[in-house]
């Protein structure tokens, strides 16, 4: 699979959100989308990242930006994560890994010398026309909103 780059058409997807509703990227044509991929619900780094987006969500919405989080966790896991941390945005359940693979963020990881397959924390900023405006591959989970807004200045 080719690596996505800035200017590419964002791969289309349809998935289920935390409530089992169908969500497609095409629903967001006309607005910017922060599509962020994270490894696992309710783990320290992922919680920090999600809570930063939560705390800045109204400001992002005011700028016409929608936030969508994606992990391979299921709907029930997403629901618990959202309820526990009052997350106001949609989390997509990519249990069959079609979105993580389409975006090239599924791959080998290495933790404490152990190799395993997992989701690489990556954020894609998709423009109003559905193209990739920016890719953040070195996400700072403490301030992902700031990284997004710096690129959109």
3-state secondary structure 61-94: HHCCEEEEEEECCCHHHHHHHHHHHCCCCEEEEC
Closest listed residue to residue 104, CA positions, set 153, 69, 137, 131: 137
Strands 65-71 and 14-17: unpaired
- Specify the pLDDT at position 111: 85
- Is 28-152 assigned to CATH 3.30.530.20? no
Give the up-direction half-sphere exposure of residue 43: CA atoms within 13 A in the CB hemisphere.
10
Q: Mind telling me the catalytic residues? A: 46
Query: Would you kindly state where each structural domain of the chain is located, as residue ranges?
Result: 28-152
Query: Above 70 in pLDDT, residue 1?
Result: no
Query: Above 80 in pLDDT, residue 147?
Result: yes
35-60 pLDDT tens trace: 999 999 999 999 999 999 999 999 99
126-140 pLDDT tens trace: 999 999 999 999 999
């Amino acid at each position: 699979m080719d690596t996505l780059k800035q200017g590419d058409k964002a791969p289309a997807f349809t998935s289920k959100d935390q409530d089992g509703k169908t969500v497609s990227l095409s629903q967001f044509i006309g607005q910017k989308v922060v599509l962020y991929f994270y490894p696992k619900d309710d783990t320290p780094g992922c919680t920090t990242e999600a809570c930063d987006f939560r705390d800045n969500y109204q400001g992002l919405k005011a700028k016409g930006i929608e936030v969508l989080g994606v992990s391979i966790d299921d709907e029930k896991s997403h629901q618990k994560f959202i309820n526990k941390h009052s997350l106001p945005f949609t989390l997509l359940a990519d249990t069959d890994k079609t979105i993580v693979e389409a975006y090239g963020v599924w791959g080998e990881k290495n933790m404490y010398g152990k190799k395993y397959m997992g989701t690489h924390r990556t954020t894609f900023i998709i423009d109003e026309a559905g193209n990739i405006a920016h890719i953040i591959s070195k996400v700072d989970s403490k301030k992902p909103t700031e990284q997004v807004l710096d690129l959109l200045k």
